[in-house]
Amino acid sequence: MTDNQTAPRPFSGLRVVDFSTLIAGPYGTRYLADLGAEVIKIETPEGDYLRTQAPLRDGHSTYFGQLNCGKKSVALNLKDPDTIAELKKLIATADVLVENFRPGVMARFGLDFETLAALNPRLIYCSVSGFGQGGLGAGRPAYAQTIHATSGLELVNLRYQDELTRPANSCLFYADVLSAVYAFSAINAALYHREKTGKGQFIDVSLLESTMNLMPYDVQEAQFPAPISRPVYKPVRSSDGFVILMPNTQRNFVQMVQAMGHPEWAEDERFCDVMARYNNYPALLAQLETWTMQHTSVECEEILTAASVPCARYRTIAEALEDPLFAERGAFQTVSDPAGEYLVTNLPFKMSQAETAAVPTVSEVGEYKLSDFL
């Protein structure tokens, strides 16, 4: 293995002009910065809205920093024709442009793909939007939560709950993060394609389709309804919280009941094979809970993991952050802004010949000028 502290970053020398705001676009371009790209973040003089969002320390948002570390901020008025003319000079030197305005906005600025591709035929131009750049949904406003509702994601989740009478409150931005990952992936593919052809291209990423890709089983089951609903792995109570048990295979199930001291459960006709357990899943969970309730969550996890049974206790994020596994993996990077230091997640992969950790700085609004890059 190469010492990654001194290894090069794969996209060193790549220039990215980033017009995106909030989550979907900025997270994708942060991944490019992690891999060494020079990401020039174009902001209004007021800055990206997320700069104002908690958690805040001395007016500096760590939420913003998680999504934008490693970039270089340039504050511009995009309604000024002279500014647009200077921007076009910058984009003529760029490899990638990313934007997540509502469709049509970049064209009104004179920064649409056709115009810019004429200036820079090698430009890879990635647009991220709720419903895609054309067609019936293009003009619809979209945020992650509305996409979750539109895609069916929230009612899929509701279908598998025991007690909810309405869709769960929406607090995680699946659509945004998935779209960031798909934009990042598409840009990588387009860069490879450009190596072979010398040509840039336009990429159209939609939050709606990104979210649909999260649900392969449910997309198929909606077309071909199953006679019996699939079993859903549910939390079971421990003496001090909850754990989840995943005895997927017959071997796992036998290992689990032996570790619990109840090998006879494997002989019970209701649980003796996969199909029997499939048809009697609520009864099985009730039986398993008679054992888990006698143990703490930590004890359940330790006993069953030692028996090679997939099991996990439910932890808070704060508890998870203390897991030594993350330190061992180098899963977090310490970054800094004028208010101090904090941790952000790194890309969830390592490369033997390249550095992939987040760049440990967060640019202030307008810290750089266009002239710095021309």
- Expressed as residue numbers, the domain containing 296 is 236-313
Residues 21, 67: one domain? Answer: yes
Per-residue pLDDT of 79-105, as tens digits, reads 999 999 999 999 999 999 999 999 999
Predicted TM-score (pTM) of the model is 0.93
Note whether residue 42 is domain-resident: yes
- What is each CA distance from 156 to 166, 214, 260, in whole angstroms? 12, 11, 33
Residues 89, 210: one domain? Answer: yes
| Integer Cα distance of 72 and 363 in angstroms | 6
Please answer whether residues 285 and 234 qualify as being in contact, where contact means their C-beta atoms are separated by less than 8 angstroms. Answer: yes
Per-residue pLDDT of 262-318, as tens digits, reads 999 999 999 999 889 988 988 999 999 999 999 999 999 999 999 999 999 999 999
| Integer Cα distance of 336 and 69 in angstroms | 9
Residues 292, 361: one domain? Answer: no
Residues 65, 131: one domain? Answer: yes
Note whether residue 9 is domain-resident: no
Note whether residue 222 is domain-resident: no
Q: How many domains does the chain have?
A: 2
Residues 174, 252: one domain? Answer: no
| Integer Cα distance of 227 and 185 in angstroms | 37
Residues 29, 107: one domain? Answer: yes
* CATH number of the domain encompassing residue 71: 3.40.50.10540
Q: Give, to the nearest 10 degrees, the angle between helix 297-306 and helix 250-259.
A: 120
- Using pLDDT thresholds of 50, 70 and 90, give the confidence band for residue 1: very low
* Bond from prior residue into 225 cis (ω within 30 degrees of 0): no
Q: Which residue has the tokens 């017959």?
A: 250
Per-residue pLDDT of 190-199, as tens digits, reads 999 999 999 9
Residue that is last in its domain, among 313, 344, 363: 313
Residues 277, 335: one domain? Answer: no
Among 5-14, 96-105, 169-178, 359-368, name the one with the lowest average pLDDT: 5-14
